[in-house]
Amino acid sequence: MKQDYFIVVLAHSLHGRIQRVHVPHKIVYSVAGVVAALLLVIFGAAGSYARMLTKVANYNSLQKEAQALRDRYDNLQKKVRQTNEQMASLQLLADEVTTAYGVRKQLAGSPDLIAEAPLVPTLGESLAEYNYLRTTNLVSRGRNIFARLNVNILPSAWPVMGRLGDGFGTRHDPFNGEGAMHTGVDIATAFGTPVKATGDGIVRHASWYSGYGRCVIVDHGNGYETLYGHLSKIDVMEGQEIRQGEEVGRVGSTGRSTGFHLHYEVRIHSTPVNPYRFLQRSAAIKPATQPELPF
């Protein structure tokens, strides 16, 4: 007769009693199934944990690679920014002398090649033009004539008198503490102080402009622009012609600002350059009652 249970014999070591326990097959199979399920769960959890460790290791490796790429990108950005500033400086010097004397080197070649010449000179062309002007002894004389003629196309005045704060270049962002490029200079002064245009031009922008708050941008031609940010009030309209010394607005603290000051920028072909050179030059430029000619 087939039995549907197991017999477990238990013997007492002292009294010698023997006890038989009948264990049904179903219970044995159930216990074995539970143990097998627990083993599967344990192995599954161990496998998941191992996969998680692998993913974490891969994530950390990717983070390191991403940080290395960010560092390389920042370095490339710095080099590009430095190159643009050098090109803008060379273009500034060439434009000053060219405007003062009305001279321009002729491009060699056929009229077709001249017509296809790029509007913005390359770094090599700017260097060649600078060397040409220097060898013809026009650089220093051109600057003197430019000052005596009192040409106001280039930004050559202080927009407002005050204390210079953050300068042009890399600084710690006052809001998040991270490194950031400061594309102008901050001039601290009292709230509501009139802000003057630093050169003749046409108002290209006169409204709210992102982190600059209330902002005015003046186009001086030849790729030169000046920007006046964080204004409390704007006194000009877009498209309006403006002269050096005329009011564009009032000092405030709108946009991403931590106090009353004017954020002032000078841009050449959309590239911000250090405005300090223009502020420094403005002290040396004095209007002449009658312009003198060099010839």
**Structural contact between residues 229 and 173, judged by C-beta atoms closer than 8 angstroms:** no
Between residues 132 and 258, the one the model is more confident about: 258
Structure tokens at 190: 């009292």
Q: Is 111 exposed, middle or buried (0-12, 13-18, 19+ CB in 10 A)?
A: exposed
Give dist(CA 285, CA 279) in Å, integer.
Answer: 10
* CATH superfamily, domain at 163-282: Glucose Permease (Domain IIA) (2.70.70.10)
The mean predicted confidence, pLDDT, of the chain is 76
Q: How confident is the model at residue 138, as a pLDDT? A: 46
Q: Tokens in use for 136?
A: 């013809």
Strands 241-242 and 169-172: what pairing? unpaired
Residue 231 to residues 93, 212, 257, Cα–Cα distance (Å): 31, 8, 10
Lowest mean pLDDT segment, chosen from 57-61, 67-71, 78-82, 258-262: 78-82
Question: Does pLDDT of 246 surpass 70?
Answer: yes
Confidence band, pLDDT 50/70/90 cuts, at residue 175: low
Q: Which of 12-16, 49-53, 227-231 has the weakest average pLDDT?
A: 12-16
The terminus-to-terminus CA distance of the chain in angstroms comes to: 135
Residue that has been written with the tokens 């390191």 in this structure: 64
Q: How far is CA 165 from the centre of its chain?
A: 19
Structure tokens at 14: 């002292």
Instruction: Supply 45's token pair.
Output: 């959890």
Give residue 200's pLDDT band: very low, low, confident or very high (50, 70, 90): very high
Is pLDDT above 70 for 172?
A: no
Q: What are the residues whose beta carbons fall under 8 Å from the beta carbon of 139, sequence distance 6 or more?
A: 93, 97, 130, 133
d(CA 251, CA 26): 89
pLDDT tens-place string over residues 81-135: 777 777 777 777 776 666 655 544 444 444 444 444 444 455 555 555 555 555 5
pLDDT greater than 60 at residue 277: yes
Where are the domain boundaries for CATH 2.70.70.10 in the chain? Answer: 163-282
As to burial, measured by CB atoms within 10 angstroms (0-12 exposed, 13-18 middle, 19+ buried), residue 266 is: buried
What are φ and ψ of residue 170, in 5° steps? -75, 140
What are the angstrom distances between the C-alpha of 61 and each of 56, 160, 277? 9, 51, 45
pLDDT of residue 288: 35
